[in-house]
Amino acid sequence: MTDEEALSKVRGAFRSVKKEVGDNKHAIREVLKTRRDEDRDLFEAFKQVGQLMQRTQQGH
C-alpha cells in the first residue's frame, strides 16, 4: 500500500467513526482501536501512517 493509500484509508476510517459517535474524542479513539484490531488492512495503514509521521518529523 502506498503512503497515499494508507493516509486515505485512515482518513476514511476516522471520518466514518466521527459520523457515528460525533466529536467525542474518547469514543472516536476506542472505536478506531477496535476497528484497527479487527481489520488487518486498517492496522497496516495506521502503522504505515505512524512511520510516515516519524520520518516527516525527523526530516527524512
Using one digit for the tens of pLDDT, what is the confidence trace for 2-52?
999 999 999 999 999 999 999 999 999 999 999 999 999 999 999 999 999
Distance, in Å, from the CA atom of 43 to the CA atom of 27, rounded to the nearest integer, reads 18
Name the grid cell of 10: 485512515
59 — pLDDT class (breaks 50, 70, 90)? confident
**pLDDT score recorded for residue 60:** 62
Cell numbers that stand for 32 in this block: 478506531
> Domain residue spans in the chain?
3-57
Contact 45, 6 (CB under 8 A): yes
Question: What's the pTM value of the predicted model, to 2 decimals?
Answer: 0.85
In angstroms, the CA 60 to CA 55 distance is 5
Where does the chain have alpha helices with state H?
A: 3-21, 25-38, 40-57
